[in-house]
Amino acid sequence: MASPGSLQRRLGVTDAVVIGAGSMIGAGVYVVWAPAARAAGDWLLVGLAIAGVVAFCNATSSAQLAAIYPESGGTYVYGRRRLSPFWGHVAGWGFVIGKTASCSAMALTLGAYLWPEQQRLAAALAVTMITGVNIGGWQRTVTVTKVLLVVSFFAIGCVMWVGVTESPPAGVVNVSGPNETVLGAVQAAGFLFFAFAGYARIATLGEEVRDPERTIPRAIPLALFGVLALYALVGAVAIDFGGIDRLGLSDSPLRDLVGSVNSPLESVVQLGAGIASLGVLLNLIPGVSRTTLAMARNRELPGWLAHIDGKRSLPLRAELTVAAVVIALVLTIDITSSIAVSGVAVLTYYAITNAAALTLTREERRWPRGIAVVGFLGCVVLVAALPASALLGGSLAIAAGVVFRQAIERTTIA
């Protein structure tokens, strides 16, 4: 029996994999192909492979740490326990910033696909609806995520069908620039990493999965490799059908791929993109709220946010606050700005994850130490390769959190 004020362990391996996949499917397939293609040119799939390697390293570090510390908060907890409270705070704040920005990007993507004339209104309504589902309880969340994944997979299957059975249109325009180099591939990997970051959602379930020492290390790699295989397949078909240059021309490349041959399946893909975005929102908003809960427990955010609703066994105040912030973002900033901030913040979060994993003893490790080294260096390189504007915006957002923490500490001491 769970004690009052605690979260309940209800989720198994399958549930955790579904939540992790639901947090990833949608972001990469429907959003980041275009900027990645423009950065990498013919090296696009190399960029995908680089992003996959870094994501795998991060996943193993997350899984090892989550098995040792089965608590809500993810790397916020690991950073505090293995490094210092300062690095834990940077990780937690980076996660909150990055994932809140990701939620904004996904909501705006939904609006762009389903109601482009009222993109921001549609995004705000989607966040409101998803929050209503989440506060209804975890079993409802898992069930709805499964339905959304089935619909999203069906839409992606339609794209694959058109790409394999139809003849590609003529008249591809060359938009590839001088970045068709290894550097371009690395920059593309930085964009594409945005698509994989959802597996961190599993690590934040530390207090809500059964047998976390076994469940989390199994669920994270399963979700990651399944999604990586899907992305590689879709990317290969899209490149073969329309060419890398056509792929880089559009912010909705899969819909345009199907629409370029006047296929009646275009509307299915359009709807699938919107539903996939709902799936991401369904799982990322609770993920941010769990890290907010953990930080509030340590008084690094207002203690009011640490309350757990006894009836629902959920951090209701944190979840409603996160939803309100996401709604404010979708009403004020665009998709590009959201993705830019998210990339820098999330890669910073994972750099700290790998640094924490490097402190594990031989007995605590489940994978070789070198994997965490590669993950740490990979995160640093991908951040450095992102556009300067993204690096500046994300860095300023993280710095603001650090300054806030220092100010609170000085006030407490005084």
Q: What is the pTM of this model?
A: 0.80
All residues at 6 or more sequence positions from 25 whose CB lies less than 8 Å from its CB, including other chains: 149, 152, 153, 227, 230, 276, 279, 280
C-alpha span between 355 and 341 (Å, rounded): 22
- Specify the pLDDT at position 123: 92
- Specify the pLDDT at position 27: 57
- Specify the pLDDT at position 339: 76
- Specify the pLDDT at position 368: 92
Written as tens digits, the pLDDT of the chain (414 aa) is: 444 455 566 677 777 777 777 667 765 678 778 888 888 888 899 999 999 899 889 988 988 888 788 776 678 889 999 999 899 989 988 888 888 988 898 898 888 778 888 989 999 999 998 888 777 655 555 676 677 778 888 888 888 898 888 877 665 444 444 446 788 899 889 888 887 766 666 666 656 667 766 777 778 778 888 888 888 888 888 888 877 877 777 767 788 788 878 888 888 888 888 888 887 787 778 878 887 887 788 778 778 888 887 776 788 888 899 999 999 999 988 877 787 788 889 899 999 999 999 999 998 888 899 999 999 999 999 998 888 887 888 888 888 878 877 776 666 555
Strand partners, 223: none
* C-alpha dist (Å) from residue 414 to 9, 408, 410: 41, 10, 6
- Specify the pLDDT at position 206: 59
- Specify the pLDDT at position 380: 95
- Specify the pLDDT at position 204: 60
Instruction: From the options 1.20.1740.10, 3.30.465.10, 3.40.50.720, 1.10.1040.10, give the CATH code of 13-413.
Output: 1.20.1740.10
- Specify the pLDDT at position 221: 79
Q: Please answer whether residues 32 and 339 qualify as being in contact, where contact means their C-beta atoms are separated by less than 8 angstroms.
A: yes
- Specify the pLDDT at position 179: 47
- Specify the pLDDT at position 177: 45
DSSP classification of residue 198 = G
Any idea where the domains of the chain sit in the sequence? 13-413
Which long-range CB contacts under 8 A does 147-151 form with residues at least 24 apart?
148/22, 148/275, 148/276, 148/278, 148/279, 148/282, 149/18, 149/21, 149/22, 149/25, 149/279, 151/271, 151/272, 151/275, 151/276
Q: Using CB atoms within 10 Å of the CB of residue 201, give its burial: 0 to 12 exposed, 13 to 18 middle, 19+ buried.
A: buried
